[in-house]
A = this chain, B = another copy of it.
Amino acid sequence: MKSLPPLNALKVFESAARHLSFTKAADELHVTPGAVSQQIKALEDYIGSRLFRRTKRALLLTDAAQASLPILREAFDKLEEASRILMARGDSRRITVSVAPSLAAKWLVPRLDRFHERCPEVEVWVSADMEVVDFAVDDIDLAIRYGAGRYAGLEVELLMEESILPVCSPRLLQGDHPIRTPHDLAHHPLLHDGSPDQEDMASTNWAMWLKAAGVSDIDGKRGAKFNQSSLVIEAAVAGKGVALAKSAIALADLEAGRLVAPFDLTTPSNFSYYLVHPASKSRNAAVKAFKKWLHEEAAATGAAGLPRQPAQEAAQ
Residues on A facing B (Cβ under 8 Å):
1-5, 7-8, 10-11, 42-43, 45-49, 51, 62-65, 67-69, 71-72, 74-76, 78-83, 85-93, 119, 121-122, 280-286, 289
Contacts and interface: CB of A to CB of B under 8 A. Distances in A.
Contacts of A119: 1
16 contacts: A1-B122, A1-B286, A3-B285, A4-B11, A4-B79, A5-B83, A10-B79, A45-B282, A46-B285, A47-B284, A48-B92, A48-B286, A49-B86, A65-B86, A72-B82, A75-B78
Given A48-B92, A121-B1, A85 B62 contact: no
A49 B90 contact: yes
- Interface core residue of A4, A69, A79, A121 (most chain B CB under 10 Å): A79
A72 B68 contact: no
The 6 A-B residue pairs with the shortest CB-CB distance in the complex, in nearest-first order: A49-B90, A48-B92, A75-B78, A64-B89, A48-B90, A7-B7
B48 A5 contact: no
A142 to B, nearest CB: 12
Taking the full assembly, how many copies of this chain does it contain? Answer: 2
A62 B89 contact: yes
A75 B79 contact: yes
A210 to B, nearest CB: 49
Given A1-B285, A1-B289, A285-B5, A78 B72 contact: yes
A46 B85 contact: no
Contacts of A4: 11, 76, 79-80, 83
A64 B82 CA distance: 9
Contacts of A1: 119, 121-122, 285-286, 289
A165 B91 CA distance: 68
Contacts of A76: 4, 75
A46 B82 CA distance: 14
Contacts of A78: 71-72, 74-75, 78
- Interface core residue of A8, A67, A82, A122 (most chain B CB under 10 Å): A82
Contacts of A71: 78, 81-82, 85
B85 A283 contact: no
B48 A91 contact: yes
A71 B84 CA distance: 11
Contacts of A65: 86
Given A42-B283, A72-B79, 15 more contacts: A5-B86, A5-B285, A8-B8, A43-B86, A46-B283, A46-B285, A47-B86, A47-B284, A48-B91, A48-B285, A49-B89, A51-B86, A64-B86, A67-B85, A75-B82
A68 B85 contact: yes
A15 to B, nearest CB: 11
A284 B11 contact: no
A47 B71 CA distance: 26
A68 B45 contact: no
